Structure 1
Amino acid sequence: MSESHIRPALRADEAALGELDRDTWSPLHAVQPRPKPPYGSFFDANHPPEHFLVAADADGRVIGYIRLVPPTPLACNQHVQQIQGLAVADRARGRGIGRALLRAAFDEARRQGAVRITLRVLGHNKPARALYESEGFAVEGVLPGEFYLEGQYVDDVMMGRSLTA
């Protein structure tokens, strides 16, 4: 990951993030249909720039992102942050960028006062699940057959880990 760096997203990243999101769409991780033109905004009221960290290459081009948000607006849940999106450009895969984004999200969650981090992943997404497990996430729940994608029922897997250990 030496030729890239991670930083907070900027409003100016919107076009690049939208393109990355469309380019990395896959039934392996997406529950929404493939995006079609006209494309909406990447950022909106529920997805503001401050919820994203981006990985940029040495030339400053966006090659990945992770979205980190509170799982609920409840005060009693403020000690938890949730990953709700992770993407790495095909041209940048295999260089540890996904792992670096996860670790940056851990640091940011801790900075925000979180002691726990969670995520949801589709059961058939073995590469993502392996990455998450290698970074300390454990399966904490499964909703069997929660989604019907491309002719098959797919589990929704909840994973989490402590940020204090």
Structure 2
Amino acid sequence: MKRVIENEVVIRESQIKDAKPLMKIDKLVWNARNSPQIPVWKSRTHYLRSCPPDNQLVAECDGIVVGCVGWRPPTMMFANAHAAEIYVAVHPAYQGLGVGRKLIESVKLHTRRRGIKKLRLRVLSTNERAIAFYVRCGFKQEGCLEREYYIEDRYVDDILMGFWLL
């Protein structure tokens, strides 16, 4: 049964205190259908090193953290310092209610203010729901790494998508 959001979803900058609820969301969200490698956080410190609050926004509803969007440099090369690779995770009970769209729209504004010109992401070809969501948010497919992963006894393509913030 889907949850009904009674109050407004608030998007805010992530804080250190958000690490534990975000680690729980990661456990609920990521699986072999949507990720080539499921994140396993050894500790809160390990999570914060990989997902620093300075590079993450959270969605909060009724004081509960229900999702996040984060960004990081796609490579360590100066030549693509204008771009950021994003990841999005929304608690399953809040998926399909506009939380993800609000996170994407917020990260577009937030990263643009930081001088980022392009957002990019990677999504498994088997994750059709996510691909459709990203297209609705304005992302376009820019490439495909065919048979990039071998997951659950089959090869899966890695779809590269991008959105220009210009």
The verdict on a shared fold, with TM-score over 0.5 as the criterion, is yes
The equivalent of 1:132 in structure 2 is 134
Name the amino acid aligned to 1:82: E
Equivalent residue for 1:82, pick from 77, 80, 85: 85
Equivalent residue for 1:101, pick from 77, 92, 103: 103
**Cα contact 1:123–1:156 (8 A) shared by 2:** yes
**Cα contact 2:26–2:39 (8 A) shared by 1:** no
Name the amino acid aligned to 2:20: A
Name the amino acid aligned to 1:69: R
Q: Distance in 2 between matches of 1:96 and 1:33?
A: 24
Q: Where do 5+ consecutive residues of structure 2 fail to align?
A: none
Q: Distance in 1 between matches of 2:156 and 2:29?
A: 19
Name the amino acid aligned to 2:84: Q
How far did residue 160 of structure 1 move?
Answer: 0.5
Q: Distance in 1 between matches of 2:50 and 2:42?
A: 17
Q: Distance in 2 between matches of 1:43 and 1:54?
A: 15
Q: Distance in 2 between matches of 1:34 and 1:64?
A: 16
TM-score, structure 2 length as denominator? Answer: 0.88
**Cα contact 1:116–1:162 (8 A) shared by 2:** yes
The equivalent of 1:57 in structure 2 is 61
How far did residue 40 of structure 1 move?
Answer: 3.0
Q: Distance in 2 between matches of 1:121 and 1:148?
A: 14
Q: 2:105 aligns to what SS in structure 1?
A: helix
Q: Where do 5+ consecutive residues of structure 1 fail to align?
A: none
Structural RMSD (CA): 1.8
How far did residue 43 of structure 1 move?
Answer: 2.5
User: Structure 1 residues 15 and 34 mapped into 2: Cα distance closer, same or farther (>3 Å)?
Assistant: closer
Q: Distance in 2 between matches of 1:39 and 1:78?
A: 30
The equivalent of 1:25 in structure 2 is 30
How far did residue 34 of structure 1 move?
Answer: 7.2
**Cα contact 1:43–1:49 (8 A) shared by 2:** no
Q: Distance in 2 between matches of 1:33 and 1:64?
A: 17
- 1:46 to 2:50 alignment: yes
How far did residue 3 of structure 1 move?
Answer: 2.2
How far did residue 44 of structure 1 move?
Answer: 3.6
- Structure 1, residues 5-50: CA drift from partner, whole Å, max 9, x if none? 1111100111111111111122221212474xx8433524332111
Q: Distance in 2 between matches of 1:67 and 1:150?
A: 27
**Cα contact 1:146–1:155 (8 A) shared by 2:** yes
Q: Distance in 1 between matches of 2:138 and 2:111?
A: 15
TM-score, structure 1 length as denominator? Answer: 0.89
Give runs of ≥4 in structure 1 deviating > 3 Å. none
User: Structure 1 residues 92 and 46 mapped into 2: Cα distance closer, same or farther (>3 Å)?
Assistant: closer
